[in-house]
Structure 1
Amino acid sequence: MINIPESIVREVRDNAANGDRNGRLTPTILNYIYDAKLFKVFVPEQLNGLMLPLPDALRVFEQAARVDGSFGWLVTIGSGGGFFSATLPPAQARELFGGTNAVVAGSGHANGIARPVEGGYLVSGQWKYCSGSTYASLFTANCRIEGLEGEETIIRSFAFLPDQVNIIQDWNSFGLKGTESHSISVDNAYVPSDRTFDIMDNPNYDDPIFRYPFMPFAQTSFAAVSLGICRHFAEEARSFAEEKREEWSRSRSQRMEGLLRALGEQDASLKAVADQFYETVERTWTSFGTNGEMTEQQQLEVGTISQRLAKSTLAYAHMIFPLLGMAVLMEDNAINAIWRDLHTVTQHSVLVPG
C-alpha cells in the first residue's frame, strides 16, 4: 500500500490554498509523484510501472484525493493514461512510457481529423478537458480518419509529443482548479503510423486491467476520488468545529451537539456505502480475473454502486455544509474549496445516472 508522507500532504495542501491563483502542482509535488510512480499505477513493470490490481489502485486514488481534490484527480487521470502502454506498438510503448516522468494528458472525444500520408498521418483538431496538460510527456486524442465520401467513419487514437501540441489555457472551473484541465490543439501535425493505436485491439501485455471494460473502470476511479474528497471534507468540518467550540458554547450551546451528531450519522452512512463499493469491486475483479470477462450484470452492479457512492458523498456535504455557518461561504476557506472540488468530480457524466 502506498502511504503519502506527511511532508507531501502539507506541501499539497499548502499549494492548494493558493490553487485559485497558481492552479498547478509545485516541482516538489511532481517529483514525489514521479518517484512514487503514482502516474504509472497501470503501467507494466517491464516499463518501470507499478501495475497494481484495480481494487488497490482505487485505494491509492482515494488516499490521494483525501489529501486534496486536484491532487487526487491528477493522480487518477494520469494513471488512466497507462492503458495506452498496452495498445501502442511495443517499441513506442517502451520509448514513451519507460521514463520516470512519463504521463499522458488527452481526450477521448473524436474531435480531430487525420489525413493519411506516406508513413503516417497529418492531424488537426482541438480537444477539451486535458488534465495535467502543462507537464504531460505525451498527449493522446481520438481522430476521424479522412477518407472517401460515403465510407464508414473510422476512429483511431493518436499520440502527440509535447512540441506538437498547443495548450489553450481555458480551464476556469469553480472546482479542481489545480488540475490544469486545459484544451489542446494540433495543426497539421505529422504522426507516424506506429504512434497510433486502437484501444479495442488486443493488448500487448497480459495484465487483466488492459481487458477490463472502460465504463466500470472510469466509474470506479472517479467514485474513489469523490470518496477521498468527502473524507477530507469530514476531517476539515470536525477541525473547524473544534476551533469554534468555545465560541459556540457561549452563544449557541446546542450547535456543536447538533453538528457532531450529524457528522456521526453521515460517517456511518458513508462507511456503509463505501464498504459495499469496495466489496463489489473486489468481488467482481476477482471474478473477472478468473473468467476473463465481465458480465453485463456485473458491469451494471459496479456502475450502480459507483454512482450511489458519488451521490452519498454529495449528500454528506449537503447535510453538513449548512451547519458550519457563514465562514465557509468564503472561497478562501478550505471547506469551501473542498465542497467545490466534490461537486466538480461528481458532475462527471459517468457518475450521473441517466
Structure 2
Amino acid sequence: MSVIIPQSIASEVRANARLNQGVLTPGLLAYLYEAKLFKLFVPEQLNGLMLPLPDALRVFEQASRIDGSFGWLVTIGSGGGFFSAALPPAQARELFSGANAVVAGSGHANGLARPVEGGYLVDGEWPYCSGSTYASLYTANCRIEGMKDDIRSFAFLPDQVEVIPDWNSFGLRGTESHSIAVKGAFVPAERTFSIMSEPHYDDAIFRYPFLPFAQTSFAAVCLGICRHFLEEARAFIESRREVWETARLGRYANADRVVAGQTAGLETDGRNFYEAVERTWAAFEDRGRMSDAEQAEVGEACQRLASHTLEYANIVFRLLGMAVLMEDHPINRIWRDLHTVAQHSVLVPASADES
C-alpha cells in the first residue's frame, strides 16, 4: 500500500512549523487519525494499516521531509503499534482499535512496580515521551519490586498519567516530548507485557528485532530531514545569487557546487540504506528470523546514514552566512531538528557513545 501525504497537508504542516514550532494543531491531528498515520504497524483487525517495514520507512522519510517534528511524531506514534501484538488480544482490541489510538512512552526502566492482587501498583517518572499531550495510551518500563533484574512494560491510561512540561530541546520542539509520571497507579496484570514474548498477531513486523526496528525508523527520519535541509539551502542560495555574485566573486558558484555534491552523496546513501533494509527484510520474511550479521549490517547502514546526513548539513550550513543563525530561520530549525534526531543513542556507533 502506498501512502502519499497530500500537498495541502504538507503546506499546512510547514506553515504551522513557522508559526507554532510544529506543535500539532487539532486539524493536523485529525488528518493523522483519519489517514491512520499513527497506525502503520497496527494489524488490520485493529483498524490499522499494517505496512511492511520498508514501506513504512518511506512514509517516515516523506513526513520528515515535510517537517522534522511532524515526521518524528508520525514515526514514534506508529512505532507504538509494535506493542499491539505484545498485549493480550482483548486489551489490544480495547486500546488500539479506536480511530484516535496512539501511544507515547519511554524505554527507560525508571518505574518501580509492586505486585498486588490482580496486578501492580506503579510509581515512576520517564523522560522524552514524544506526543505526550495527545496520547490515548502511555507505555513505560518498570522494575518489579523484590525481583532482581526483572523488567516489564506497563500500559497506562491518560487519567493515570501526569504530563510534566519539561521538553526544552533546541530541536524537534514541536514533538512535546515531555516527561510523564505516575504515582500509585494500579495496572492490571493484563495491561503489562514484554516485547520479547510470543506475539499474538502473525504480521512479520512483530517478530522483527526491536533494535533494527528503531534504528531503521530513526534513520529514515534523518534522511527526510536532510533532504528538506538541502532543498531549502539550494533555494536560499538561489535567492542570494545576485547579492553574492556582486559582493564576492565565486561565492554563489562555490555554494551551489557544494550543495549539489552533498545532495548527490545523500542520494547514494539513501539508495544504499533502502537496499540493505529491503534485502534483509525480504530474507527475514522468507526465513522468519534475522541473523546477527544482518542485524549488524542494518545497524551500521543506519548509523552511517545518520552520520552522513549531519556531515552534509554541517558542510552546507557554514556556507549560508549569518542569516541562518537566527532561530526563526527555517534552515536553522531544520538543522537543529536533524541534530536532535541523530543524537538518539541507537544511531550513534558504540565507539562514539560516551553516555
User: TM-score normalized by structure 1?
Assistant: 0.97
For 1:300, the aligned partner's letter is A
CA distance in 2, matches of 1:318, 1:154: 43
The corresponding residue for 2:67 is 68
**Counterpart secondary structure, 2:127:** strand
Q: CA RMSD in A?
A: 1.0
The one-letter amino acid paired with 2:11 is R
Q: Which residue of 2 aligns with 1:55?
A: 54
1:134 to 2:130 alignment: no
Q: State the partner residue of 2:219.
A: 223
Partner of 2:19: 18
Are 1:275 and 2:276 an aligned pair? Answer: no
- Cα distance between partner residues in 1 of 2:20 and 2:290: 40
Residue 14 of structure 2 aligns to which amino acid in structure 1?
R
Instruction: State whether residues 121 and 191 of structure 1, in contact with CA within 8 Å, keep that contact through their aligned partners in structure 2.
Output: yes
In structure 1, what is the Cα distance between the partners aligned to 2:307 and 2:242? 34
Contact in 2 for aligned 1:42/1:50 (Cα 8 Å) = yes
Distance 1:189 1:303 in 2: 37
1:258 and 2:254 are equivalent in the alignment? yes
* 1:34-90 superposed Cα distances (whole Å, 9 cap, x missing partner): 111010000000001010000000000000000000000000000010011101110
Aligned residues: 349
| Equivalent residue, structure 2, for 1:189 | 185
Provide the C-alpha distance between the structure 2 equivalents of 1:97 and 1:210, rounded to a whole number of angstroms. 15
Deviation, structure 1 residue 11: 1.2
Which 4+ runs in 1 deviate beyond 3 A? Answer: none
The one-letter code matched in structure 1 to 2:129 is: C
| Secondary structure in structure 1 of the residue aligned to 2:123 | strand
Matching residue within 146, 152, 155 for 2:148:
152
**Contact 1:19–1:177 under 8 Å retained in 2:** no
Q: Tell me the amino acid that sits aligned with residue 217 of structure 1.
A: F
Which residue is equivalent to 1:234? 230
User: Secondary structure of 2:100's partner?
Assistant: coil
CA shift, 1:249, in A, is 2.6
Does residue 34 in structure 1 map to residue 33 in structure 2?
yes
Question: Given residue 173 of structure 2, which amino acid in structure 1 is its aligned partner?
Answer: K
TM-score of the superposition, structure 2-length normalised? Answer: 0.97
Q: CA deviation at 1:19?
A: 3.6
Counterpart for residue 213 of structure 1: 209
Alpha-carbon distance in 1 for matches of 2:209, 2:189? 26
Structure 1 equivalent of residue 353 of structure 2: none
Aligned-pair CA distance for 1:152: 3.2
Deviation of 1:198 (Å): 1.3
For 2:339 and 2:284, how far apart are their aligned partners in 1?
31
1:99 corresponds to which residue?
Answer: 98
User: Offset at 1:131?
Assistant: 0.3
Q: Distance in 2 between matches of 1:94 and 1:46?
A: 8
Which range moves more in the overlay, 23-32 or 61-70? 23-32
In structure 2, what is the Cα distance between the partners aligned to 1:132 and 1:180?
Answer: 6
- Aligned-partner SS, 2:250: helix
Residue 10 (structure 1) shift: 1.3
- Give the corresponding residue for 2:4: 3
Larger deviation, residues 190-199 vs 279-288: 190-199
Instruction: Structure 2 unaligned segments of length 5 or more: list them.
Output: 351-355
1:353 to 345, 349, 352: 349
SS in 2 for 1:38: coil
Distance between the aligned counterparts of 1:214 and 1:228, measured in 2?
22
Q: Aligned residues: percent identity?
A: 70
Query: Do structure 1's residue 306 and structure 2's residue 302 form an aligned pair?
Result: yes
- Secondary structure of the residue aligned to 2:168 is coil
**1:329 and 2:325 matched:** yes
Give the letter aligned to residue 288 of structure 1. F
Q: Which moved more, 1:204-213 or 1:241-250?
A: 241-250
Deviation digits for residues 176-211 of structure 1, max 9, x if unmatched? Answer: 000000000000001111111111110000011001
CA deviations 1:145-200 (Å, max 9, x no partner) are: 112xxx43311111100000000000000000000000000000011111111111
Whole-Å separation in 1 of the counterparts to 2:20 and 2:325: 17
| TM-fit CA distance, 1:140 | 0.5
Counterpart AA for 2:28: I
Which string of whole-angstrom CA distances, capped at 9 and with x for unpartnered residues, describes residues 282-311 of structure 1?
A: 000000001111111000100001011001
1:288 equivalent in alignment to 2:284: yes
Distance 2:163 2:148 in 1: 31
Shift of 1:250: 2.0
